[in-house]
Amino acid sequence: MSSALLAIGRRRTTAERRRDRERDIIRATRELFDERGTIDAQIDDIAKRVGINKALIYRHFAGKEELFALTLVDYLAELDEQLQEADNPRRAPLNRLKALSETFVDFCLDYPAFTDCAMSLLRRTGEELFGEITEPVMIKLGTAMAAALDRIAKVLEAGQRAGVFDEVDTAYLANHLYTQTLGSLHMARVGLIVSGSRPGHPVVHHADVGTVRSTAITATLATAVGRKALNQKTVNHKTAARTSSTTSTRTTTRSARAGETS
C-alpha cells in the first residue's frame, strides 16, 4: 500500500475518532443536563464524565454555548421522532395539532433541561448567536428545529385548507407556537405564580403542573384557530342580538294588539 493511501487511512481514522469523541461529549452533556439541569452542568463535570481533560472539549467546540446548542440538537432529534409517532394524517387537523401539542408539552415536562436550553438560546439575538456559535453548528441547529417546525406547519396548512385554522403564514405560526409553548412551560419550571391580595402584599402560590400543561395545549389550539374563533363569536353575538331584538319587537306588537282588543 502506498504512503499516500496510508495517510488517507490515518486521516479518516482521526476524523472518525474526533466524531466519536464529540458524540461522547454531547451524550455526557445531556446526561448531566437531565440529572442536574443546565445551570449545574459544568464543563469540568462534562470532561470528567467523558474521561478527558477539560481543554480537549474546547478543541471540539467553540465554547459552552456551542456545546449546549449541539445538545439541544440531540433533544430536538428525539422530539421530532416523538412528534412523528404522534401524528396521524387521517385525523382532523384540530385533533392532529392537539396530539402534537400534547407530545411537545409532555416532552418539555419530561426533560426540563430541554426547556432551559431552548429558552437560553431564545434569549439571545441572532447576532449574538452567530457570534458565539460557528456556522456549521448553526446549520445543524436550524435543521433540527426545522424538522419539528415543518411537521407542525404541515398540520396548520391542512387546517387552513379545511377552513378551521386562521389564515396566517404557517412557518411563522409554527415558530410562534414553539416559542409560546416553551414560555408557558417555563412556569412549570419556576413552579410559582404570583397574585395580589391587596396593594403592596403579593401572594405566591404553587403552580400546578397539570394546570400548566392543559393551559399550554389549549393556548396552542386557540392560537391556531385565531381570528376565526373571534369572528365566529362576533357573528354569534350579532345573530343573538338580532334574534333578541326580533323577539322583543314581536312581543311588543302582540302586547299592543292585545291591548287594542281589550
Show the DSSP H helices in 51-197 as ranges: 54-60, 64-86, 93-110, 112-122, 126-132, 135-161, 170-190
Strand partners, 202: 196
* pLDDT tens per residue, range 81-96: 999 999 999 999 999 9
Distance (Å, whole) CA 36 – CA 30? 10
Radius of gyration for the alpha carbons in the chain, expressed in angstroms and rounded = 27
* CA 71 and chain centroid, separation: 16
SS3 184: helix
Task: Find all residues with CB under 8 Å of 244, minimum gap 6, and list them.
Answer: none
Dihedral sign, CA of 163, 164, 170, 173?
A: positive
Residue 104 pLDDT: 97
Cell 445531556 belongs to residue = 30
pLDDT at 157: 97
Can you give the pLDDT of all 262 residues of the chain as single tens digits? 556 555 555 555 777 887 888 888 899 988 888 888 777 778 888 888 889 888 888 888 878 888 889 999 999 999 999 999 999 999 999 999 999 999 999 999 999 999 988 888 877 777 877 778 888 999 999 999 999 999 999 999 999 999 999 999 999 999 999 999 999 988 887 888 888 877 778 888 888 999 999 999 999 999 999 987 666 544 444 444 454 554 555 555 555 555 555 4
pLDDT digits (tens, 9 = 90+) for 220-229: 999 999 987 6
pTM: 0.77
260 in helix, strand or coil? helix
Give the contacts of 6 (CB within 8 A, at least 6 positions apart).
none
Q: What pLDDT score does 117 carry?
A: 86
Handedness of CA 28, 33, 36, 42 (dihedral sign): positive
Phi, psi dihedrals of residue 94, rounded to the nearest 5°:
-65, -40
SS3 197: strand
Total residue count of the chain as it appears in this document: 262
Report how far residue 176's alpha carbon sits from residue 211's, in angstroms, rounded to the nearest whole number. Answer: 21
Residue among 167, 213, 164 nearest 188 (CA): 213
